Amino acid sequence: MKKKICILGSTGSIGKSTLEIISKNRNDFEVILLSGNSNFRLLISQAQKFKPKYIYLSNFYLTEKIKYFCIKNKIIIINDLNLLKKIKFDITIAAISGIAGLLPTLNIIKFSKKILIANKESIICGWKFISRELKKYNSDFIPIDSEHFSILKLIENKNRNSIHKIYITASGGPFFNKDINLKKVSINQAISHPVWKMGKKISVDSANLMNKVLEIIEASLLFNLPLNKFSIVIHPQSLVHAIIQYKNGLSFFSYHEPTMKIPIINSLYDNLNNSDLVKEDFFNKNSKEKKLIFFKPDLKKYPAIHILEIAKKNDVNVYLMINVLNEFLVNQFLEKKIFFPDIISKLSLLMRSKQVKNYLKNNKIKHINDVFKTYNFCKRLLN
Ligand code: NAD
Ligand code: MG
User: What was the pLDDT predicted at 280?
Assistant: 66
Which among 102, 106, 60 has a CA at the least distance from the CA of 79?
Answer: 60
User: What is the DSSP code (8-state) at residue 79?
Assistant: S
> Cβ of 356: how many Cβ atoms within 10 Å?
20
Which ligand is nearest the CA of 151, by number? 2
Report how far residue 54's alpha carbon sits from residue 84's, in angstroms, rounded to the nearest whole number: 9
Report how far residue 120's alpha carbon sits from residue 157's, in angstroms, rounded to the nearest whole number: 24
Q: Which residues pair with 169 in a beta bridge?
A: 233
Report how far residue 179's alpha carbon sits from residue 177's, in angstroms, rounded to the nearest whole number: 7
- Structural domain ending residue among the three candidates 312, 344, 368: 312
Q: Which atom of ligand 1 is nearest to the CA of 37?
A: 11
User: What is the DSSP code (8-state) at residue 294?
Assistant: -
Residues 329 and 307 in one domain: no
**Chain centroid to CA 59: how far?**
21
Locate all alpha helices (DSSP H) within the chain, ordered by sequence.
13-24, 40-50, 60-72, 102-108, 120-136, 146-155, 187-191, 200-207, 210-223, 261-268, 307-311, 316-334, 342-351, 354-362, 368-382
Q: Are 317 and 371 in contact (CB under 8 A)?
A: no
Residues 168 and 76 in one domain: no
Q: Are 81 and 102 in contact (CB under 8 A)?
A: no
Q: Could you list the pLDDT tens digit for every one of the 383 residues in the chain?
A: 999 999 999 999 999 999 999 999 999 999 999 999 989 999 999 999 999 999 999 888 889 999 999 999 999 999 999 999 889 999 999 999 999 999 999 999 999 999 999 999 999 999 999 999 999 999 999 999 999 999 999 999 899 999 999 999 999 999 998 989 999 999 999 999 888 889 999 999 999 999 999 999 999 999 999 999 999 999 999 999 999 999 999 999 999 999 999 999 999 999 898 777 777 677 877 788 889 999 999 999 999 999 999 998 778 999 999 999 999 999 999 999 999 999 999 999 999 999 999 999 999 999 999 999 999 999 999 98
Can you give the pTM of this predicted structure?
Answer: 0.97
Residues 317 and 228 in one domain: no
User: What was the pLDDT predicted at 156?
Assistant: 93
Residues 140 and 150 in one domain: no
Pocket of ligand 1 (CB under 6 A): 9-15, 36-38, 58, 95-97, 100, 118-121, 145, 196, 198-199, 202, 260
- Structural domain ending residue among the three candidates 260, 283, 312: 312
Q: Which residues pair with 142 in a beta bridge?
A: 116
Q: Which atom of ligand 1 is nearest to the CA of 36?
A: 11
Query: Which three-class secondary structure state does DSSP give residue 338?
Result: coil
Residues 308 and 339 in one domain: no
Which among 265, 320, 377 has a CA at the least distance from the CA of 130?
Answer: 320
Closest residue by CA, ligand 1 atom 36: 118
Q: Which residues pair with 252 in a beta bridge?
A: 244
Q: In what order do the strands lie in the sheet with 163-170?
A: 230-234, 163-170, 240-246, 251-255
The total of structural domains in the chain comes to: 3
- Structural domain ending residue among the three candidates 96, 119, 144: 144
Rg of the Cα atoms in the chain: 21
User: What was the pLDDT predicted at 288?
Assistant: 84
Residues 40 and 169 in one domain: no
Residues 210 and 199 in one domain: yes
Domain with 183 in it: 145-312
Residues 279 and 354 in one domain: no
Strands 240-246 and 163-170, sheet pairing: antiparallel
